[in-house]
Structure 1
Amino acid sequence: MPKSPENGSETDEKSTSEAFPADNGHEGGASDHVVILPCHVAGSGTLDRLANTARDYAKASKAKNTQTAYLSDWKHFSRWCRIKGTDPLPPSPELIGLYLADMASDRAKPLSVATIERRLAGIGWGYKQRGLTLDRSDRHITAVLDGIRRQHAQPPKQKEAIMPEDVLAMVDTLGFDLRGLRDRAIVLLGYAGGLRRSEIVSVDRGQDETDDSGGWVEIYDDGCLLYLNAKNGWRTVEIGRGSSDQSCPVHALEKWLHFARIEFGPVFVRTSRDGKRALPSRLNDKHVARLIKRTVLAAGVRPDLPEKDRLSLFSGHSLRSGLASFAEVDERYVQKQLGHASAEMTRRYQRRRDRFRVNLTKASGL
């Protein structure tokens, strides 16, 4: 099992810890020129190569989607500062408190508490890239944020869990060309594995076959193993064979791999417009969300709701919450399958569990 992975030209008389090019704290993309070598160290071919390697590891320190979101947060904050006639540098807890208050009280489009908290994390990340530290525990930030939580916090909006019978109905709407075989394997594998949509599309046929690989798959007589470089590090997901070929995720995966002739590289790739030819490029994770919405409508899941509501209720995450809600096994096995560090996190995914199986009222003698 591989271990989980844990910029660089010299500048004259400048700090060597900046992760962005000089931009006076304003907008700008994440730099490919993070300076690793101290300015008093003479460059050499060996050190320059190590600096490039260190830059690559620095880029991998956070998921690409996280870095993209944080960069967007920093841009938004920088733009807000410019509009208000101030500068984001150096860090000012008082200024950031005003920014958070403005985001929460915007009458046109107030941000949710979760988005505001993410924005704050992105701002802290932006300062860190510039060798600066934001004290997020400062009272000018914490007091405002606590007030925002108290006045605006709402229960999390969760996606609807897909029931087992819904999954079978959804895959029945898919064809038997290459596109249909691929999408059938995605739905069944995602459901049985409790996988995130990014995990589904990141898997390769074998280990270390592509630069953007998020893991690989091994197929056995009794099922398959997915080795995933997931959100919290490497984990192994065990997916056994189903009770019939029609509902078996491993059988669906084998058929897709066979007819698409995939022996190397990404497992799930794009297909030609006619759905008859596999293309070399990896499938985007947004396809999983679109696939779930499309098959939910085609299968008539939740016919009691208007089409617009059904589209908003179901997404790629519905596969993950479906497994957590309807797998009739001990909770600890579901927790392991989903890769959660705590049982409490697993329970957040359980939409229809037996909530009163343990009755503390009776246990206490009442």
Structure 2
Amino acid sequence: MAGPASPALPAHLQDLTDRARGYVEAASSANTRRAYAADWKHFTAWCRRQNLSPLPPDPQVVGLYVTACASGSAVGTSARGSTPNSVSTIERRLAAIGWNCAQRGMSLNRKDRAIATVMAGIRNRHAAPPRQKEALLPEDLIAMLETLDRGSLRGLRDRAMLLIGFAGGLRRSEIVGLDLGRDQTEDGRGWIEISDKGMLVTLRGKTGWREVEIGRGSSDATCPVVAVETWIKFAKLARGPLFRRVTGQGKNVGPDRLNDQEVARLVKKAALAAGVRGDLPEIERGLKFSGHSLRAGLASSAEVDERHVQKQLGHASAEMTRRYQRRRDRFRVNLTKAAGL
């Protein structure tokens, strides 16, 4: 649904208008924009079915909408046969409504009691502990690498992505957002610099730029730097995106950057093929792994001072880093005994 029309601008300002639109898009990731667009479509469709107007934003209407989401009746006119949304999904949809209203020059007061009180009740009744993805430990990663075809371009690329993602503690969007050098593409999120000692990865994140050091491994077979060098050599890359689509029955490398969903698919496929967590049913195993498993794996495996792990992951607090450490030495500090009991 379009917002109120803006006054026509002089023709000589059109270029600035286009640039401003590009900066607005750059303020949030492509994944966030896609999710917000889908959430706005969901909200406006619900409003149409209820003969309500989504604009201007009415806190009471939004409060009824989130109630419908929590009860499972936001899809149709009845709650029967519908699955209630999780608290995290409802909170994202609420953020999407506020964002879309703001883009149309309108504000949604999320602190209004018609929204805030309802959301407090939804959190109290339906909030569940977060379901964390399984951390991939070094032995898991090595087993996953063995499932890849060493003689194909796709296998070389996937090997490099898994190793750099693990060793760098990178998000999937950061992995595919890398370029071979600085200022080579408009949609890049960073670049790599390879030296004798290792690889320096420069990344642009939500809070600014950060540098990630990836040292050379003890063996070429598991060294992330060697894996990246091998991929670059055989893919014959000179500039632009580092990780690209392999085309022509695996014989050619295209110019286009990989979508970050490909990282999640790769991690899940390789983990299943390697038999990681083979004690679980296959369907449950498939839900355990994602691109986040690489990041959590580094945090859980690196036997170094926690501060170094925090810096590598780009976390603002040590508490956030500890959430990633799936294999912590729990109860190492026993405060019960320390207190004399």
- CA deviation profile, 1:117-144 (whole Å, cap 9, x unmatched): 0000000011101111111111111110
1:268 paired with 2:223, answer: no
Counterpart of 1:57, as a letter, is Y
Q: Structure 1 residue 191: deviation in Å?
A: 0.5
1:161 paired with 2:125, answer: no
Counterpart of 1:120, as a letter, is L
Secondary structure in structure 1 of the residue aligned to 2:221: coil
Counterpart of 1:158, as a letter, is Q
1:206 paired with 2:181, answer: yes
> Aligned equivalents of 1:66 and 1:144: distance in 2?
25
Counterpart of 2:138, as a letter, is P
Q: Which of 345, 348, 363 is residue 320 of structure 2 equivalent to? A: 345
Q: Which of 242, 247, 270 is residue 222 of structure 2 equivalent to? A: 247
> Aligned equivalents of 2:269 and 2:102: distance in 1?
42
> Aligned equivalents of 2:309 and 2:159: distance in 1?
23
1:114 paired with 2:80, answer: no
Q: Which of 73, 79, 85 is residue 51 of structure 2 equivalent to? A: 85
* Structure 1: runs of 5 or more not aligned: 1-19, 25-33
Aligned to 1:64: 30
> Aligned equivalents of 1:295 and 1:117: distance in 2?
32
Aligned to 1:52: 18
Secondary structure in structure 1 of the residue aligned to 2:42: helix
> Aligned equivalents of 2:133 and 2:333: distance in 1?
26
The percentage of aligned residue pairs carrying the same residue is 60
Counterpart of 1:255, as a letter, is T
> Aligned equivalents of 1:285 and 1:133: distance in 2?
32
Q: Which of 193, 207, 223 is residue 218 of structure 1 equivalent to? A: 193
Q: Structure 1 residue 115: deviation in Å?
A: 0.3
* Structure 2: runs of 5 or more not aligned: 73-78
1:314 paired with 2:281, answer: no
Aligned to 1:43: 10
- CA deviation profile, 1:282-329 (whole Å, cap 9, x unmatched): 112111111111211221111111211111111111101111111111
1:259 paired with 2:225, answer: no
Secondary structure in structure 1 of the residue aligned to 2:231: helix
1:99 paired with 2:74, answer: no
99-108 vs 113-122, which moves further: 99-108
- CA deviation profile, 1:95-128 (whole Å, cap 9, x unmatched): 1111111110114110000000000000001110
Counting only pairs closer than 5 Å after superposition, residues 226-237 of structure 1 correspond to structure 2 as 226-237=201-212
Secondary structure in structure 1 of the residue aligned to 2:222: coil
1:131 paired with 2:105, answer: yes
> Aligned equivalents of 1:236 and 1:354: distance in 2?
28
Aligned to 1:292: 267
User: How many residues were matched structurally?
Assistant: 332
Secondary structure in structure 1 of the residue aligned to 2:202: strand
Structure with bigger helix share is 2
> Aligned equivalents of 1:89 and 1:301: distance in 2?
49
Secondary structure in structure 1 of the residue aligned to 2:144: helix
Counterpart of 1:71, as a letter, is A
Aligned to 1:189: 164
Normalised by the size of structure 1, how large is the TM-score?
0.87
Q: Which of 24, 41, 51 is residue 75 of structure 1 equivalent to? A: 41
Counterpart of 2:242, as a letter, is V
